[in-house]
Structures are given as C-alpha cells and as structure tokens.
Amino acid sequence: NAQGKAQLSGFFANNSSDSLRIHLLQDNLSNKETPFSVLIDRQGKFKVEVPINDRAVVLIEYDGFIFPVYMEEGSPLQLEGDRRRLDASLTFYEQGQLKNNTCLHEMRAEEGLFQTIGTRIVSHGIRIPKGLEKVLASMDPMDKQRQLISMSAKEKDLLQRKNRELELSPEFVQFMETHIEFKYYNYRMYLGSDELVHSNFSFYQDHLYHATYQAYLDEYIVRSCSRAAREKLDFYRNYALIYDCVWENPELPQNLKEHITARLLFRNFRPTTASMLQPWYDDFMLRVSNPKYVNPLKKRFTNINEFAEGKEAPIFELMDNEEAWVALDAYRGQKVYLTFWATWCAPCIQEYYDAVPIRQALEEEQVAFIFVNIDKKTETWLKHSITKNGDGVHLTAADNSALTQAYKVRELPRHFLIDEAGNFIEEYPHMNSTEFIEYIRSNK
C-alpha cells in the first residue's frame, strides 16, 4: 500500500479540457491500476498529490494523448506543454535540475517504452506492441530468444547513452534498467522463446515497489509452479497449489515468499472464496508477522465478510436525475442490482451499454437496476448520455462519501445483488451474460 505522495503540477497552453486522468498501480497487493481525474482550471493549470510507494511511472491521459511520467515519493514534479503540439512541446521541471523525465520522453519516442496504443496487455500489466508480436510469431524459439535479448541490450545501451548526455539520477537509471530487463523476461516467457526465465531473487527482492518486476514475479510463480505440478495452473483457480509451491521454493528469499503469498491471498479473497481460503489465511498469519502484509489481509478478510450472503445492505436515500429522492428500502419485495459508476470510468460505460439486452430481457421480472454515480459534479453526471437516455434508476452520491465508504467502493464499476428482503446475495453469474437472465428467472 502506498505510504507516501509526490506533488505533480503543470500547465497546458491552448488548453480546451477541464480535466486529465492519471493511471497508476493502486497498490502492490490488489494489483489494481486505478485511474483518477484531476481538474484543470481555466488558465490550463493543475496540481495534485499522487500516491507513490518509493518510485513509479504513472500514465497521464490528456486530450486523447497518453504519456508516461516518472515520479519519486516526496519529490515534486512540474510539466508544461502546448495542447496543439503536445508530444513535441512537453517540458519537465524536476528537483536538482535532473532530466529523468526528459530522458523517459525521448526513450519513449525512440523505443516506444511504456507505449499504450496498439499494444496487447501481457502478464498483469506489461504491454507488448502487436507489430512485434506478429513479427516474432513466425520465428522458432531460439531465434525469438536471440532477437529479444538483442532488443533488451539495445534499450539498455540507449539508456546508458542518455545517462551520459543528460543529468539523470541513479534511482531513475536503476528503475529503468529493472523495467527493461524484466519487460523482456516477460516477453520471452509470453512469446515462447523460454519456458521459464530465472532471476537473481536475492538481489531483486528490494524491487517490490516496481510494477514490471512484480509482473515478472507473477508470471514466474505461475509457470514454475505449473512445471512442478506437471499441469497448467491458474492464479485464481489453483491458489492452494500455488501457495504451497511458493513456500516450498528454495530459490525464493523469505520476504519474497511473504510478498507473493500475501498478493495471492489478497487477490483471491472474494465473498465466494473467503471460507475456502480460510485454512491458507490462517497458515499465512502463523508464518508472517510483518504488518505490511498482515494488516491489509485482515482488513480485506473482514470487509468481505461484511458483504456475505444474508448480511443487510446499508440503507441510503439519494437524489435521482429528476430531483426526486429515492430510498433503497423502497425496493423491498424485488431484487436490486446496484452499480456504482462514474462518467470518467470507461469500463463502466462500456459495461452499461453491453448489458442493455440483458436488462431488456428482464423488464418483466421483479429486479430493479440502480446506478449510483460518484462524480463530484452533478452537472457532469446529468449531462451524460447514460443519465439522460439510459434505462434503469439513476442516482447521485456526489455529496455522500459515507455511502461509498459503507459499500467499500475503491474500484469501479462496483456491483452488488440484493434480495427481496434487503440482504446481499453472495454468488451469482456476471450481469453481462445470458446466464444472469436464467439466474434471475429461476430464483424468484
């Protein structure tokens, strides 16, 4: 979990947007990449505190353009650019006149580092250019391996050249070397040039803050445990086998074992799995005393049980898009599919429209679809096409942080199914599926 922050501020000339979005890895246990919006004033200026655990690259999305920014905990960063020629005009101002972000921006232009457009997501967050994947697909494993090792060396050489030309911090150089090395380790495993790529785990155990190294660890663990079990294992279905495999692995230092198994448990804790995970949770608590892992797991285990089947859903009363007050308990006697969303949440919007046929098929059933928006500005919510023209009940929680806290809304979209008595229903098919229609019709 992020312990510190770094201030990010900036100015865009010829600005025409009222906000930008920042994408960052929320924390090392959940592995969630969380976007959040930052307001830009009429002069084109913005300022925000970004949660950073040691060092990180965050992605800034502005006016249809996405670019990476390197940040360190406690170190302020300023940037400036002209919206009309953003890529060419971006300028960075760092403590000590360092040129870390100038280097990152130039390397991105030359080698496509941290590229997001035209890429495929590989192994929990690492992205591979589709063009590269297509080129390598026809090669045999040895040729792929040689090509990828050569590309890795080329990027490292480029970094060293930039280091000689610019004023870079040792921390940034180390961060980028780690990114390049483990990005290509993952490429090699993903593209089949190597079944498994080993690392010096004792040396890299201090790099747990690094998202690229974390992605490598995830891939390495699943692959090495699959090889030990002589069957293909899945991070979410085979957590018990992977948990035991990690603790039995002699190559891994103790703190890496703690970190990997904490993530394994944290990401597998769901209402449907909490009781099944109890033995491994209890075993973890006997093995580990580090509060960095123990406290978040305890909190997550407690929170999940709050939403277990039969627990009463927190009552609320919110204003709808026609300025009428709507209470949750007014829907007693029918099921409620409750969704928390925001206008800046692209997956929320896509999911809403994808599920239109499902909701239409259930119009005659006793189920209400309630959409609670958490935008800070109600005007933004009211102007959105979902609010103006969409089906369902549309409510705003703009001034109700207590409600989002009660429902533990830390990621979007967030869903709950509530029964006729106002209690949570624990296990049900995803709403964007035809199985959900059958589930509702057969559970009256």
**pLDDT, tens digit, 9 for 90 and up, residues 175-201:** 999 999 999 999 999 999 999 999 999
> Mind listing the pLDDT tens digit for each residue in 385-400?
999 988 999 999 998 8
In this structure, the strands spanning 367-373 and 393-396 are parallel
Residue 25 pLDDT greater than 90, yes or no? no
How many angstroms separate the CA atoms of 188 and 181, rounded?
11
The pLDDT value recorded for residue 272 is: 66
User: What is the mean predicted confidence (pLDDT) over 293-313?
Assistant: 81
Residue 3 pLDDT greater than 70, yes or no? no
The pLDDT value recorded for residue 11 is: 97
Q: Which of 38-42, 101-105, 265-269, 342-346 has the highest mean pLDDT?
A: 101-105
Residue 61 pLDDT greater than 50, yes or no? yes
* Helix/strand/coil (H/E/C) assignment for every residue in the chain: CCCEEEEEEEEEECCCCCEEEEEEECCCCCCCEEEEEEECCCCCEEEEEEEECCEEEEEEEECCEEEEEEEECCCCEEEEEEHHHHHHHCEEEEHHHCCHHHHHHHHHHHHCCCCCCCEEEECCCEEEEHHHHHHHHCCCHHHHHHHHHHHHHHHHHHHHHHHHHCCCCHHHHHHHHHHHHHHHHHHHHHCCCCCCCCCCHHHHHHHCCCHHHHHHHHHHHHHHHHHHHCCCCCCCCCHHHHHHHHHHCCCCCHHHHHHHHHHHHHHHCCCCCHHHHHHHHHHHHHHCCCHHHHHHHHHHHHHHHHCCCCCECCCCEEEECCCCEEEHHHHCCCEEEEEEECCCCHHHHHHHHHCHHHHHHCCCCCEEEEEEECCCCHHHHHHCHHHHHCCCEEEECCCCHHHHHHCCCCCCCEEEEECCCCEECCCCCCCCCHHHHHHHHHCC
Residue 124 pLDDT greater than 60, yes or no? no
The pLDDT value recorded for residue 262 is: 95
Residue 432 pLDDT greater than 90, yes or no? no
Residue 86 pLDDT greater than 90, yes or no? yes
Residue 439 pLDDT greater than 90, yes or no? no
**Range in 74-78, 258-262, 385-389, 435-439 the model is least confident about:** 435-439
User: What is the mean predicted confidence (pLDDT) over 197-219?
Assistant: 90
The pLDDT value recorded for residue 102 is: 97
**Range in 186-200, 296-310, 373-387, 405-419 the model is least confident about:** 296-310
> Of 62, 63, 68, 69, which is closest to residue 6 (Cα–Cα)?
69
1 falls in which pLDDT band (50, 70, 90)? very low
The pLDDT value recorded for residue 30 is: 76
User: What is the mean predicted confidence (pLDDT) over 264-285?
Assistant: 86
Residue 2 pLDDT greater than 50, yes or no? no
Share of the chain above pLDDT 70, in %: 96
How many angstroms separate the CA atoms of 382 and 220, rounded?
47
How many angstroms separate the CA atoms of 111 and 179, rounded?
13
Residue 273 pLDDT greater than 60, yes or no? yes
The pLDDT value recorded for residue 317 is: 94
Structure pTM? Answer: 0.72
